[in-house]
């Protein structure tokens, strides 16, 4: 679903699907995240359908949005899950997912995490280094339990995305340099409890050009045939995260074209695994926030809102662009005539800026929305400035449900009060 279909004006009021965002803000308060269930389902199905009858598995990357109801929505569709911590694994299991449907990635899994994941019978562990292999081997020897693994290779391919979210270059901390992978697979083959079933790769996030991904896949396919020549048979090629989305003017290909390119690049005897996060939930979420004050100085016009960098960190951390929309429809003339504003939060940092230089016709008390906030939004939230974590809402058609209550002050301080130092 296009975002203009998800978030649309009806009788001059912005709706998510057919639910009035003003009504949600009145009932739930602001700031709050609102997600469209229909759009989340459509995005996941777009991936799954595009594979037709080719062997595949779509693992939703839980890090993008780990709300239990969102995980459950995808579980009900038949999704598998990519997790990067024991916490994410437990979240997924909490809504009834079978551990065999989970791939455990991440560059620094602790001994405890590895041991617990193996005891829980996790589907696959993606190994990120020789050192990690040795750690996993020690754990399996001690437990006397087996585990399937894939080696995450680092193909040294430039994904042409923001440097903070680029992961497949040789100087990045991720994966095993592809030239060292063969030796590692040979070591794994000698291991009593560890079976290599796949090769994995993830070169970065917010990728809108599939060429670098195809380049990485080419190298993986070569590696797989090198392994086969040694008698090591790989079943799955995991190409990592999904496509980027359009925040401003990026033009990612359609999910179906991306998947057909993958089908062309991976021989049919391999199962293809994908770990999309952003493209499943990113465009399906809005951060609703109310204008506290409009502060005009001789130099700038600040729209000070009740959401801040602790609610949505992306603009502060990556200078990321998010479109800002008003929840009351404005005419083209009103927008044209509006002054340029910076949308800022109440946190005591200049970096607490959600958007700069936007034409916005708004007044104190108005409700506005930050678009494309469904991925890496609420999950990256914090309590900075002792601000409470946002409520989250899931919409379907014209109805909505709270899927995460706003944090209370009591919730926030409980784990400190219990440990308060004595007089
Ligand atoms: N698989 C692995 C191993 C990953 O590291 C990631 C994302 C994904 C899958 C999902 O990638 P996606 O389909 O979402 O592109 N906080 C940043 C994004 C960090 C992404 C980290 N890894 C942001 O707000 O842009």
**Nearest C-alpha neighbor of 370 from the set 309, 300, 279:** 309
Kindly state whether residue 73 falls inside one of the protein's structural domains. Answer: no
10 and 156 both lie in a single domain? no
Of 79, 277, 377, the residue with max ligand 1 atoms within 8 A of its CB, to mutate for a pocket test, comes to 277
The residues annotated as belonging to the active site are 348
Rounded to the nearest angstrom, the gap between the alpha carbon of residue 270 and the centroid of all alpha carbons in its chain is: 26
Say whether pLDDT at 171 is over 90: no
Residue 174 has pLDDT above 90, yes or no: no
At which of 247, 276, 305 does a domain end?
Answer: 276
Decide the pairing of beta strands 236-238 and 194-200: parallel
Pocket probe for ligand 1: among 40, 43, 61, the residue whose CB has the most ligand atoms within 8 Å is 61
Calpha distance 34→21 (Å, rounded):
8
pLDDT in tens, 15-25: 999 999 999 99
What is the C-alpha to C-alpha distance for residues 245 and 3, in angstroms, rounded to an integer?
10
Nearest CA to ligand 1 atom 24: 376
Banded pLDDT at 290 (limits 50, 70, 90): very high
**Ramachandran area for residue 243 (φ above 0: left; ψ -120 to 50: alpha; else beta):** beta
Pairing of strands 285-296, 32-36: antiparallel
- Total of domains in the chain: 2
User: Which range of residues forms the domain containing residue 165?
Assistant: 105-276
Task: List, for residues 78-95, the tens digit of each pLDDT value.
Answer: 999 999 999 999 999 999
Q: Report helix, strand and coil shares of the chain as percent, to nearest 5.
A: 35, 25, 40
| Whether residue 298 sits in one domain with residue 255 | no
From residue 416, alpha-carbon distances to 51, 179, 386, 388, 404 in Å are 49, 48, 13, 15, 22
Question: Ligand 1 centroid vs 342 CA: distance in angstroms?
Answer: 28
Residues in the chain: 423
Task: Tell me the two tokens of residue 374.
Answer: 């469904």
Residue-wise pLDDT tens digits, 150-162: 999 999 888 777 8
| Residues 375, 241: Cα–Cα separation, whole Å | 13
Is 68 inside a domain boundary? no
As a whole number, the mean pLDDT across the chain is 96
Domain match, 357 and 399 both: yes
Question: How many Cα atoms are found within 13 Å in the side-chain-facing hemisphere of 225?
Answer: 7
* Cα(263) to centroid(ligand 1), Å: 22
Query: Do 161 and 270 have their domain in common?
Result: yes
In a domain, 57, yes or no: no
Domain CATH code at residue 382: 2.40.37.10
CATH value at residue 161? 3.20.20.10
Is residue 59 one of the residues assigned to a domain? no
Pocket of ligand 1 (CB under 6 A): 61, 63-64, 82, 105, 165, 202, 205-206, 240-242, 275-279, 314, 376
Q: What is the pLDDT of residues 352-370, one digit of tens each?
A: 999 999 999 999 999 999 9
pLDDT at 161: 77
């Amino acid at each position: 679903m296009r975002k203009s279909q998800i978030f649309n004006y009806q009788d001059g009021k912005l709706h998510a699907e057919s639910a009035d965002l003003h009504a949600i803000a009145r009932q739930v308060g602001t700031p709050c995240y609102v997600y469209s269930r229909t759009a989340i389902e459509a995005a996941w199905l777009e991936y799954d359908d595009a594979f037709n009858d080719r062997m595949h598995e779509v693992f939703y990357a839980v890090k993008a949005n780990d709300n239990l109801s969102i995980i459950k929505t995808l579980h009900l569709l038949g999704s598998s899950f990519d997790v990067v911590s024991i916490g994410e694994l437990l979240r997924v299991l909490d809504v009834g997912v079978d551990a065999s449907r989970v791939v455990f990635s991440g560059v620094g899994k602790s001994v405890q995490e590895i041991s617990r994941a193996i005891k829980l019978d996790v589907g696959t562990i993606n190994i990120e280094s020789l050192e990690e292999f040795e750690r996993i081997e020690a754990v399996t020897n001690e437990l006397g339990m087996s585990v399937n693994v894939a080696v995450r290779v680092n193909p040294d391919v430039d994904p042409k995305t923001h440097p903070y979210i680029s992961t497949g270059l040789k100087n990045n901390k991720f994966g095993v340099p592809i030239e060292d992978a063969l030796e590692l697979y040979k070591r794994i083959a000698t291991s009593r409890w560890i079976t290599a079933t796949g090769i994995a790769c993830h070169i970065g996030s917010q990728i809108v050009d599939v060429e670098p991904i195809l380049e990485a896949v080419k190298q993986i396919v070569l590696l797989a045939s090198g392994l086969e020549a040694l008698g090591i048979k790989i079943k799955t090629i995991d190409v990592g995260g999904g496509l980027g989305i359009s925040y401003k003017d990026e033009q990612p290909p359609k999910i179906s074209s991306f998947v057909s390119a993958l089908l062309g690049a991976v021989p049919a005897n391999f199962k293809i695994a994908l770990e999309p996060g952003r493209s499943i939930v990113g465009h399906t979420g809005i951060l609703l926030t109310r204008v506290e004050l409009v502060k005009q100085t001789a130099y700038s016009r600040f729209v000070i809102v009740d959401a801040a960098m602790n609610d949505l960190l992306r603009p502060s951390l990556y200078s990321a662009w998010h479109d800002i929309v008003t929840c009351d429809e404005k005419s083209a003339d009103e927008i044209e005539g509006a002054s340029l504003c910076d949308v800022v939060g109440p946190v005591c940092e200049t970096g607490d800026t959600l958007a700069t230089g936007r034409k916005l016709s708004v007044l104190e008390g108005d409700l506005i929305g930050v678009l494309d906030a469904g991925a890496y939004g609420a999950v990256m939230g914090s309590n900075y400035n002792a601000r409470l974590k946002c409520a989250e809402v899931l919409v379907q058609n014209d109805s909505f449900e709270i899927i995460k209550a706003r944090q209370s002050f009591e919730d926030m301080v409980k784990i400190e009060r219990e440990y308060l130092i004595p007089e």
